[in-house]
């Protein structure tokens, strides 16, 4: 990776494997209307929680309102978390190696429920925490910004004080990569469950 000093890495679909259909089916079983479109295309409540414009409690109440069911917090959280699979251990080892070689950052469209689960279950590897794998962590729900909007990329570039021409962005969503490219950032779009370590050999 000649000339690359900085790595901005997406979470879902790049680091952690996803099974979105499992999440869709769980919410469909509750009777949430049009939930497949809402989850796969990040709409309505599912976009609002990732933007941080509603809290986790408001998200859960919104699901209860849509279903007209007395669902528990645990039932709703389990359905929402159902899309999250595992992080292969070789990727966690790779992230540690990359942090020693590059200025590494995480940039994710995510939400408090998913992130708290991931911190507890996905990054607890060899006694580590999420913060051990990255120099900086940028989460959409904390920033009130989401990819593919340019503002979140502009924020990261400014906050990290990095040059886009020296930066590689890995994201599984082509629209996110296209926006990054307009700002001069190099990009790579991994396929689902791809081992992208070949980029750094």
Q: Can you tell me the distance from the alpha carbon of 160 to that of 156, in angstroms, rounded to the nearest whole number?
A: 6
Tally of helices (H runs) and strands (E runs) in the chain: 10, 5
| DSSP type of residue 18 | B
What residues form DSSP beta bridges with 104? 7
Half-sphere exposure of 119 (CA within 13 A, CB side): 12
Ramachandran assignment for 68, one of left (phi > 0), alpha (psi -120 to 50 degrees), beta (any other):
left
What residues form DSSP beta bridges with 8? 105, 169
Q: Can you tell me the distance from the alpha carbon of 134 to that of 104, in angstroms, rounded to the nearest whole number?
A: 5
Catalytic site includes residue 61:
no
Distances (CA, A) of 170 to 10, 30, 60, 128, 199: 6, 34, 31, 22, 10
**Catalytic residue of the set 10, 77, 171, 172:** 10
Distances (CA, A) of 177 to 32, 75, 146: 31, 34, 13
**Catalytic residue annotation:** 10
């Amino acid at each position: 990776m000649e000339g690359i000093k900085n790595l901005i890495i997406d979470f879902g679909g790049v680091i952690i494997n996803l099974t979105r259909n499992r999440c869709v089916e769980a919410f469909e079983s509750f009777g949430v209307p049009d939930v497949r479109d809402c989850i796969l295309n990040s709409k309505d409540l599912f976009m609002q929680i990732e933007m941080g414009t509603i809290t986790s409690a408001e998200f859960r109440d919104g699901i209860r309102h849509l279903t007209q069911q007395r669902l528990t917090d645990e039932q709703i959280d389990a359905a929402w978390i159902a899309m999250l699979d595992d992080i292969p251990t070789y990727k966690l080892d790779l992230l540690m190696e990359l942090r020693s070689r590059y200025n590494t950052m995480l940039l994710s469209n995510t939400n408090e429920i998913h992130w708290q689960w991931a911190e507890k279950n996905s990054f607890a590897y060899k006694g580590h925490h999420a913060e051990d794998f990255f120099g900086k962590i940028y989460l959409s729900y904390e920033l009130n910004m989401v990819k593919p909007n340019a503002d979140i990329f502009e924020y990261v570039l400014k906050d990290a004080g990095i040059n886009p021409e020296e930066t590689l962005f890995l994201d599984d969503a082509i629209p996110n990569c296209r926006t990054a490219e307009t700002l001069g950032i190099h990009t790579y779009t991994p396929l689902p469950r791809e081992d992208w370590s070949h980029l750094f050999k």
